[in-house]
A = this chain, B = another copy of it.
């Protein structure tokens, strides 16, 4: 096999596996939107078959042969071909390092653990979940050992979500962030100023919310010719393939934020997916960079843009038209303060822009300790509550509102949480860079114009696909690697103004 033939074959196989996997994405979307109730068992069979066949394709020994042939070839460093080979090799090597029985056991245990977790949460019964958390931690530790790592087993897990990132690097940035956020949040707590939260808890008819959110998603650049917006219990964005990206949300007729900011968030993910170079679909060059970068795109549109003052200068008059009975008597400033209320609270997914990151840091620290063995699953509730008190000045009244609130551990997703805060950090860095490279962006926003920002993101963040690591992408675009200062400065300014600090 010539190296040219090997490359062609490698790419053909990569694309074919991606097309097959994308069929699973359609079924996954359908499962959560329109699938009939009684279809769920059969859907499990369909999904399992597609997953198995996709896995067989990506770990086919023929892929290994192509990679071996290409191992000694002289692809120009950082050429598109070299990048694709490097990244396919990376995924292949990881996949073949994992014993099949381990992969299957993780799949089996985490399916069951999710069910147990769901019941344990609703009954506030941590002891019921504890043995399953033990199994998960043991299995994920075995996964880390199989994959291999230099410093901390966590690195092997984190690497799946945030290629190239390490626990040590994240720990440093998170520690600095935490040191700044804790006093900021305390200061907000001391402030006499309080937004009128009830403004957001008036009547917001679902149909009007739908039209309003869709109009905003369109305005920021989500292409509905190549996408959809539907309703699900747990909102998500699914980038199925070229021309097909679907986002979902849920509507609460008595709470404005949930659907609106949810749609902006998922539309941010969707704009990233729609901006990936479709000619490279099914290869690393056509894939997202990392989950941290993916999250930076959702957070940037949801928070940096969507919770900004200028955004609402344009959208607030439209909001009043859409919701006259709720907002007719509310001045813009009151509305703006209400959607930016910050206060320590127990639940991560309801947290504001500042405290959200403390939720993540707490989980990251506990995951590190679980994996190293310093923390035993049995001690999780106590450790959680103690840290929570220290960081938030609150103690969860029960585990339902504490260590049982998230699905991630039951899914085997140790290593995933940090990407949320990495997204916030990158979003702040990218927003700063866009503002310095494009003059007058806030003026654009105030006029409902988001095209320049969207095109800049397309060019700088989306088109490169997975051609480099997240940290390096950030370096290229902003001139600096991952840093905590831009997010801290942004939060200080914003909440300083609002809370008169």
Contacts and interface: CB of A to CB of B under 8 A. Distances in A.
A226 B46 contact: no
A460 interface: no
A227 B36 CA distance: 5
Interface stretch (A16-24, A64-72, A451-459): A16-24
B242 A42 contact: yes
A35 interface: yes
B46 A19 contact: yes
Interface string A42-72: 1101100110010000000000000000000
Contacts of A226: 36-39
Contact of A244 (B19, B43, B53): B43
Interface string A238-256: 0011111110000000000
Interface size grouping (class) on chain A: 35 or more
A40 interface: yes
A20 B49 contact: yes
Interface stretch (A26-34, A192-200, A486-494): A26-34
B241 A38 contact: no
Count the copies: 2
A149 interface: no
A232 B184 CA distance: 55
Contacts of A74: none
A225 B36 contact: yes
A374 interface: no
A46 B30 contact: no
Contact of A30 (B30, B41, B53, B245): B30
Interface string A183-204: 0000000000000000000000
Contacts of A225: 36-38
A447 B49 CA distance: 46
A39 B46 CA distance: 22
B16 A243 contact: no
Nearest 10 Cβ contacts at the A-B interface:
A38-B243, A39-B244, A38-B226, A39-B243, A42-B241, A42-B242, A37-B225, A38-B225, A19-B49, A23-B46
Interface of A: 16, 19-20, 22-24, 26-27, 30, 34-43, 45-46, 49-50, 53, 223-228, 230, 240-246, 281
